[in-house]
């Protein structure tokens, strides 16, 4: 979202826009950095012990729980309202004072509020380095590990999901360390397909990367366009390369690279293999005549009109494509990675976190536990949101959302949910976006692209000036 994560220009189930995230996170990051440099702000809040935490909300007396969220659209608004009402019914002594804002407004407000004394008890915080990472570094969020122990969150949540909200105490290590937030919803990047287009070419929905690469060639050799990509904004190409990378690079290495943690290398033969496949697709015009000159929205709309057999993209696109395509729309993800387990790019909705200066931390943690419980996941699904837990079990009986829910369940529970590559460094969205665009367009060789990405990654992980 941000310099660390660019999602989508189309609104997802949880209402975020990748395009919005890029600009807003730059502002959030700048504010967060200022906060982190404030005198005394580097002191970490005292960490509670699990045995000192009260889960008996009813015994806390009459309290007001201040909650800031960005659940403002459609089903996301309906689910949070339903859960808030249920929480207050269970605990009549609690009054929830909800402040709902757009994602952009909430992130700006949060950046200013966390450095002051008038803070909410619960707030949704962008988990990217430029936001959550900076807040952790500044000691402005509570390490949730004691609450996770008390409520069993680490048993409830897959490790690859929790990693998206985990940081070392100094904010440098992303994906491990303390837990600083819990998300309600999930998202996954895969490949949409037209059932009619595949039937036309007697191609079965691929189940492996080799089968997919063969299908692309078969359709292209027949004179039809295999895939469509609108990559003028540069980040959409990362949603092609990210999943493809898992076909030749070990998941653990992709996690290190994508989260900007030391210990991996972009300029390896395995990474070059994936970049070479991307270059081959560019030469073959597999994405169409000019993917780098086509807008993202125009691409998926063209796909719904029969413009290609496959559309690499995120689960959030389904909502806009179901109506024009109906039962013709299918979704593939994830293929087994080189490790043999399912792996693809994906993430979570904006996690719910506890500010260090929250007045009611125990009640706030109980609230987060309530809105992420198994029962809450059912409420999310009933309101057309994709729950981050029990996803496959809560899938619709049919349709593309059944495919998407089951795909997310498979990768998050049995494989690896790989990070968005632009998580890696504050500048990696531009670096990798330019590199992938250059490879697809033929202006850069796979070797040049890998070198550029390695230089950015190495500079960040080593702290070189």
CA 211 to chain centre: 27
Question: pLDDT category, 103, cuts 50, 70, 90?
Answer: confident
- Which residues lie closer than 8 Å to 124 by C-beta, 6 or more apart? 68, 69, 70, 71, 106, 350, 351, 352, 353
DSSP H helical ranges for 260-360: 269-283, 296-304, 318-325
Average pLDDT of span 277-298 = 97
Number of alpha carbons in the 13 Å side-chain half-sphere of residue 185: 27
Q: Which fold has domain 187-346+419-462?
A: D-Maltodextrin-Binding Protein; domain 2 (3.40.190)
| pLDDT band, residue 433 (cuts 50/70/90) | very high
Reported as half-sphere exposure (CB side, CA atoms, 13 A), residue 177 has a value of 20
CATH of domain 18-183+349-390: 3.40.190.10
Q: Is the dihedral of CA 267, 269, 274, 280 positive or negative?
A: positive
- Residues 11-51 have pLDDT tens digits of 343 334 343 343 344 444 444 433 434 433 445 667 778 88
Residue-wise pLDDT for 307-354, tens only, equals: 999 999 999 899 889 999 999 999 998 899 999 999 999 999 999 999
Per DSSP bridges, beta strands 186-194 and 343-348 are antiparallel
pTM: 0.82
According to the model, what pLDDT value does residue 51 have? 81
> From CA 463, how far away is CA 465, in angstroms rounded?
6
Q: What DSSP state is assigned to residue 120?
A: -
Q: What is the pLDDT of residues 203-242, one digit of tens each?
A: 999 999 999 999 999 999 999 999 999 999 999 999 999 9
pLDDT tens digits, one per residue of 92-101: 999 999 999 9
Domain ranges of the chain: 18-183+349-390, 187-346+419-462
With a cut of 80, say whether residue 176 has pLDDT above it.
Answer: yes
> Are 18-183+349-390 and 187-346+419-462 in the same CATH fold?
yes
């Amino acid at each position: 979202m941000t310099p660390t994560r660019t999602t989508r220009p189309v609104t997802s189930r949880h209402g975020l826009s990748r395009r919005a995230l890029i600009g807003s996170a730059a502002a959030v990051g700048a504010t967060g950095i200022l906060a982190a440099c404030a005198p005394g702000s580097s002191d970490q809040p005292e960490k509670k012990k699990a045995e000192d935490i009260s889960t008996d909300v009813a015994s806390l007396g009459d309290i007001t729980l201040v909650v800031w969220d960005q659940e403002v659209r459609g089903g996301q608004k309906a689910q949070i309202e339903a859960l808030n009402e249920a929480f207050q019914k269970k605990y009549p002594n609690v009054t929830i004072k909800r402040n709902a804002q757009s994602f952009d407004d909430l992130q700006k407000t949060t950046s200013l509020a966390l450095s002051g004394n008038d803070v909410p008890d619960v707030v949704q915080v962008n988990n990217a380095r430029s936001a959550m990472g900076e807040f952790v570094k500044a000691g402005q969020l509570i390490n949730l590990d004691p609450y996770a122990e008390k409520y069993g969150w680490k048993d409830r949540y897959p490790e690859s999901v929790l990693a998206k909200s985990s940081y070392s105490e100094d904010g440098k290590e992303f994906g491990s360390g303390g837990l600083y937030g819990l998300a309600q919803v999930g998202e996954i990047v895969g490949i949409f397909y037209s059932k009619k287009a595949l039937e036309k070419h007697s191609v079965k929905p691929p189940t492996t990367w080799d089968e997919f690469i063969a299908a692309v060639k078969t359709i292209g050799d027949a004179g039809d366009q295999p895939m469509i990509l609108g990559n003028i904004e540069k980040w959409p190409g990362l949603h092609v390369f990210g999943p493809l990378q898992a076909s030749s690079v070990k998941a653990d290495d992709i996690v290190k690279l994508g989260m900007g943690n030391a210990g991996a290398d972009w300029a390896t033969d395995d990474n070059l293999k994936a970049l070479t496949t991307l270059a081959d697709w560019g030469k073959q015009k597999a994405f169409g005549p000019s993917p780098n000159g086509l807008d993202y929205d125009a691409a998926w709309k063209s796909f719904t009109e029969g413009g290609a057999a496959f559309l690499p993209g995120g689960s959030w696109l389904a909502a806009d494509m179901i109506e024009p395509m109906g039962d013709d729309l299918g979704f593939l993800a994830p293929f087994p990675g080189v490790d043999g387990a399912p792996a693809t790019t994906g993430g979570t909705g904006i996690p719910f976190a506890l500010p260090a200066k929250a007045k009611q931390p125990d009640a706030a943690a109980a609230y987060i536990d309530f809105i992420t419980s198994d029962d809450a996941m059912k409420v999310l699904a009933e309101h057309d949101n994709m729950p981050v837990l029990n996803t496959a079990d809560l899938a619709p009986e049919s349709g593309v959302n059944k495919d998407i829910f089951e795909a997310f369940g498979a990768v998050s529970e049995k494989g690896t949910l790989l990070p968005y590559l632009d998580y890696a460094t504050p500048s990696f969205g531009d670096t990798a976006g330019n590199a992938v665009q250059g490879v697809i367009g033929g202006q850069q060789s796979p070797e040049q692209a890998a070198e550029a990405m390695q230089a950015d990654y190495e500079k960040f992980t080593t702290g070189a000036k």
